[in-house]
């Protein structure tokens, strides 16, 4: 179901709770909402009103969903300017060009642990979403 984007900074500043397989509908809502937005590259669950740690982004035009993502390694920091669907301003932030992330993927109704490396634009998106899960706004 397509959800409205949350702009309440008090709500967005709250850290998300760990996600479980029962949060599959949150993941679907993220996919549906992301697909409905022309200018969106990624979304975190708290941006659509859920307090669980689920994120989604467009990876080669198809949705990629992660439950409970955690950045484990990061290389090559650089400053960049980011916008956010939930905020009316752009901010300069430090992001890493390369990151290694652990997360859970929903497979046949169960969460399965995964590891993946991201670089460039994808790394920036994942870091932005992980910040949302931590309650950190740009």
Residue-wise pLDDT for 43-82, tens only, equals 999 999 999 999 999 877 788 999 999 999 999 999 999 9
Give the pLDDT of residue 138: 81
CA–chain centroid gap for 64, Å, is 10
Separation between Cα atoms, residue 12 and residue 49, nearest integer Å = 9
d(CA 53, CA 69): 8
CATH superfamily assigned to domain 9-134: Peptide deformylase (3.90.45.10)
For the chain, domain boundaries:
9-134
| φ/ψ (deg, to 5) at 67 | -100, 130
The pLDDT tens digits of the residues spanning 76-108 come to 999 999 999 998 889 999 999 999 999 999 999
pTM: 0.93
- Average pLDDT over all residues of the chain: 95
Q: Give which of 122, 23, 125 is closest to 68, Cα–Cα.
A: 23
């Amino acid at each position: 179901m397509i959800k409205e984007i949350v702009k309440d900074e008090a709500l967005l500043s709250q850290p998300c709770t760990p996600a479980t397989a029962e949060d599959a509908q949150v993941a679907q809502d993220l996919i549906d909402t992301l697909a409905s937005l022309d200018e969106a590259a990624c979304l975190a669950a708290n941006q659509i009103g859920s307090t669980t740690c689920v994120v989604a982004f467009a990876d080669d035009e198809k949705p990629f969903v992660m439950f409970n993502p955690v950045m484990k390694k990061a290389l090559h920091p650089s400053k960049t300017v980011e916008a956010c669907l939930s905020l009316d301003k752009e901010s300069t932030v430090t992001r890493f060009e390369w990151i290694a992330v652990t997360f859970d993927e929903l497979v046949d109704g169960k969460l399965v642990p995964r590891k993946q490396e991201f670089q460039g634009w994808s790394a920036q998106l994942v870091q932005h979403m992980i910040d949302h899960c931590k309650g950190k706004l740009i």
